[in-house]
Structure 1
Amino acid sequence: MSDAEKSGFISKLIGPKKRWRAYKARVKELPDNYRTAVEAIERYLMHFVPTDEDSSASMFEDLADLFERAATDRTPIREIVGQDPVEFAGAFAENYSEGGYVPARARKQLTDDIGRAAGIETGTEDKSV
């Protein structure tokens, strides 16, 4: 393997990891309820992850952008994702990939997690789950 090939391989390997770490650091800085919502959507979106690493990184960076702006503007979570977070996440993912198979369990978990995050805002958090 030539030096140029090694360099290209290393940048492919490190580039996405660096972007992922930067994304995770941004999410960590969000207020608790927004972070909870982003992490729930992130878990769900893992079923849609594009094969193209750049598209995948862009999808998660755009998710962070959306929730950072919403936190700054104090936009309620339900105003962002609507009443059906599964529909929101599916539509969001369509911008980056063909989508994937999402098991019913993942859809239910996303709905429950967003309900919990939105409840934190309104003081009606469901702690039974």
Structure 2
Amino acid sequence: MIGDKRRWRAYKARTRQLPANYRAAVEALERYLMFFGAADGDTAASMYEDLIDLFERAAADGTPIREIVGADPVDFVDTFIQNYSKGGWITRERERLTNGIERAEGLDEGKRS
């Protein structure tokens, strides 16, 4: 737990060092990730560290924010999350939904036979 807190504080310190526009983008992504990101502390810390790495490099290179996140920031962050969310609740719920529909489809096919 202490290691996760230390990593979080380091991430936040790095975020504060970004230029204002990049910092605002990271903070917006962070808010979204708080709801839909990884469930466990270690995975979440890795996710935030990778996010800040990306934005630090982009700021250093002068890469426009839209070149990072594209036209649809939700699509960007959802794709980003997929690299980390194996244990996340949203992934489990998506799998349950898919499995439930497949079971329903199997039941429906059984009635037709």
1:63 partner SS: helix
Q: Per-residue displacement from partner, 1:67-119 (whole Å, max 9, x unpaired)?
A: 00000000000000000000000000110004539xxxxxxxxxxxxxxxxxx
Shift of 1:46: 1.0
**In the alignment, does 2:48 pair up with 1:60?**
yes
Higher helix share: 2
- Which of 83, 86, 100 is the equivalent residue of 1:95? 83
Q: CA RMSD in A?
A: 1.4
Counterpart of 2:80, as a letter, is F
Q: Per-residue displacement from partner, 1:28-83 (whole Å, max 9, x unpaired)?
A: 00000000000000000112232221111000000000000000000000000000
Q: How far apart, CA to CA, are the structure 1 residues paired with 2:39 and 2:3?
A: 15
Q: Which has the larger radius of gyration?
A: 2
Cross-structure match for 1:126? none
> Aligned pairs, how many?
89
Cross-structure match for 1:27? 15
Q: How far apart, CA to CA, are the structure 2 residues paired with 1:51 and 1:41?
A: 16
- Which of 28, 38, 47 is the equivalent residue of 1:50? 38
Structure 1 unaligned runs (5+)?
Answer: 1-12, 102-129
